[in-house]
Amino acid sequence: MDALLGIGLVIVLHAAVIDHFKHQPVDSTPPKEEKVEITLLAPPPPPPPVVQPQPRPAPVKDAIPPKPKPKPKKLPPPVIQQPPVQTNAPVDSDAPPAPVHAAPVAPPAPPVEKVVQLTSADYLRNPPPDYPQDAQDRGWEGKVLLKVRILPSGKPDVVQVQKSSGHATLDSAAVKAVRGGWLFKPNMQGTTATAVWVVIPIVFQL
């Protein structure tokens, strides 16, 4: 029964509160506007720069000049002692020694090239020279001795007139023939071919 009475009492109280709010007049006045003032504050001034104290320069000591280098002592030039020269004559102690001269060295002698007299077997190719027509018309004849240097290859290198035939035309024809294509057998010393001088007779006869 007590529980039922408590529940009924709670219901009555709730109904009374609701009824009270229904009969309360409604306030139609608009709400007052509230003004908000905003004040801008200036930023605080920057702090003063911090001045760092400069280090004091270290005291400069008086520069000590370097000590001068000792000058090298000049040594006397070495004395080359010459061996005493033994002679039969009395030696004067106060006289200076005689200078010693070295014997002159003779230059090496140039190699001597052998001069030989060729035979018919030493020729490999020797066409006869042309007989000049003017010499034939005049009846010129003669014998020319030519001194020829033959290379290891067998070809003539230098051709000189050792003895003239008495006619320059015949001499020139003989030189031209040898230089024009003569070929000789190489001169052999053992297994090596060497240059050699030879004397070649060429006869012009009608």
* pLDDT, tens only, 13-65: 777 767 666 655 555 565 555 565 655 555 666 777 766 667 676 655 555 66
CB 174 within 8 A of CB 202: yes
Please give the pLDDT value at position 99: 60
Q: What is the 3-state secondary structure (H, E, C) of 65-111?
A: CCCCCCCCCCCCCCCCCCCCCCCCCCCCCCCCCCCCCCCCCCCCCCC
- DSSP strand pairing (196-204 vs 115-117): parallel
What does pTM read for this prediction? 0.45
Please give the pLDDT value at position 159: 94
Please give the pLDDT value at position 123: 85
Cβ neighbours around 116 below 10 Å, total: 13
Please give the pLDDT value at position 106: 63
Cβ contacts of 162 within 8 Å, gap of 6 or more: 145, 146, 147, 199
Assign 197 to helix, strand or coil.
strand
Mean pLDDT over 1-22 rounds to 70
The continuous run of DSSP H or E covering 178 comes out as: helix 168-179
> For residue 7, what pLDDT band results from cuts at 50, 70 and 90?
confident
Of 195, 178, 188, which Cα lies nearest the Cα of 114? Answer: 195
Q: Domain 115-204: which topology?
A: TolA/TonB C-terminal domain (3.30.2420)
CA 65 to chain centre: 47
Per-residue pLDDT tens over the stretch 138-197: 999 999 999 999 999 999 999 999 999 999 999 999 999 999 889 998 888 888 999 999
Per-residue pLDDT tens over the stretch 82-123: 545 555 555 555 556 666 555 566 666 555 556 666 655 588
Please give the pLDDT value at position 11: 79
Per-residue pLDDT tens over the stretch 127-138: 999 999 999 999
